[in-house]
Amino acid sequence: MRSTLEIGSASGQPGRLAYGVVEGVALPSGGSDQFPVIIAQGRKDGPVLWLTASIHGAEYTGILVIHQLLTPELVSRLRGAIVAVPTLNPAGLRTADRGVYYLRGQDPNRLFPGPMPRRQTTLTDAPRSALEAAYQRLFEHIRETANYLIDLHNYALGSIPFALRDPVYFRAGRDRPAAQQLQNTVGEMLAAFGFTIVNEFASNDYLRKNLHRSVSGAALNTARIPAFTAELGGYMSVDPIITSAAVSGLRNVLRWADMLDGPPEPISGIRVLSPGYPMRRVHHPFAPNSGIVSYLVKAGDAVAIGDAVARLSDIYGRPCNEDGLIHSDLDGVVLGLTQGGICYQNDPLLSLAIPDDSDLVVPFPT
Ligand SMILES: [Zn+2]
């Protein structure tokens, strides 16, 4: 790394915390939605870890994790630097929304630069949105300076905390060994973090959902920077036990990266699933009708094929489809509940972690 880091108006100072902004979306009312930046620069050189949070505005835990991690005491012992962006979605943070009020219907965590450069080919092609352009500018700082990146999120209602592992894509066969090496490094980072590890949706679904343009997906697949996403319990709330476990997990990643001395600290207070085989997330089952949902399972429960997981009734309280019971067709563990009390037909009801035998290093479809 360079001896001092400059990110937007933040200027790293050895042994200190430095603050500044990267300009975001210019607002019609004047000013801009700035991305706040904290640089924790150690006295000695070493790798640079980026920590980003709250790209979904109603997800707050990552902000608190950054605040609790970045102490003067940590910086005094650090080798290298941490660059933290406590919110990647200032607009959504203000309105407590997952998205951005001036980009309704779009998920901001699908707007980071993809592996193919986006070119405006004709005059009638729509230019990229203001937020996409702002993320592109921020991404250039990441590409230029980051050795590792961790993006902090919250997941579903009452969900257990876990870390999501993205697939790594490669184009030509000769690039496969480097892609495998990158995925191996991600595996080491995840092991150091110490949370339950869940692989992302299977490859085709991953691209269809534009997850390669999520923060971690873009860091990994566009900039080839080892990265993962941490899901830190339910949104719209902060669980102090999960927050503290995540801070410990991040310090353990710093130790793994040789940015901090000392043995790993235990991850306590949270459930860590280690079934002995890889797991990936799926949404399952889906509601056969719109209606009122009452769940028969909670996050962390194991479910087996045929288990009743929810009861669906109409607004009068009468069960839908005879007994109203909805069964799982999969074996897995409940990561979180995707609905509150109501659902529409074909809405997913649960996030499940199921056994996964898919490849995590895959050719990019041509
Ligand atoms: Zn999120």
Query: How close is the Cα of 14 to the center of ligand 1, in Å?
Result: 32
Would you state the pLDDT for residue 201? 82
pLDDT means per 10 residues, the chain with 366 residues, are 82 97 96 97 97 97 98 97 98 96 93 76 79 96 98 94 96 94 98 97 85 96 97 95 98 98 96 93 96 96 97 96 94 94 96 94 88
Residues 6+ apart with CB under 8 A from 11: 4, 5, 18, 20, 39
**How big, in percent rounded to 5, are the helix, strand and coil portions of the chain?**
25, 30, 45
Query: How close is the Cα of 212 to the center of ligand 1, in Å?
Result: 14
CATH class of 280-355: mainly beta
Residue with tokens 């707007």: 111
Residues 6+ apart with CB under 8 A from 57: 87, 89, 90, 91, 92, 93, 94, 95, 96, 97, 98, 99, 100
Instruction: Classify domain 6-119+130-256 by CATH architecture.
Output: 3-Layer(aba) Sandwich (3.40)
Query: How close is the Cα of 156 to the center of ligand 1, in Å?
Result: 9
Query: How close is the Cα of 153 to the center of ligand 1, in Å?
Result: 4
Query: How close is the Cα of 121 to the center of ligand 1, in Å?
Result: 32
Amino acid at position 41, single letter = Q
- pTM, two decimals, is 0.95
Residue with tokens 């608190």: 64
Query: How close is the Cα of 306 to the center of ligand 1, in Å?
Result: 30
Please report the sign of the dihedral spanned by the C-alpha atoms of residue 328, residue 333, residue 339, residue 340. positive
Query: How close is the Cα of 67 to the center of ligand 1, in Å?
Result: 18
Query: How close is the Cα of 54 to the center of ligand 1, in Å?
Result: 7
Would you state the pLDDT for residue 157? 84
Domains of the chain, residue spans: 6-119+130-256, 280-355
Query: How close is the Cα of 108 to the center of ligand 1, in Å?
Result: 9
Q: Which two tokens stand for residue 81?
A: 């630097």
Query: How close is the Cα of 53 to the center of ligand 1, in Å?
Result: 9
Q: DSSP character for 315?
A: T
Would you state the pLDDT for residue 232? 98
Query: How close is the Cα of 146 to the center of ligand 1, in Å?
Result: 21
Query: How close is the Cα of 150 to the center of ligand 1, in Å?
Result: 13
Residues around ion ligand 1, judged by CB within 5 A, are 56, 59, 153
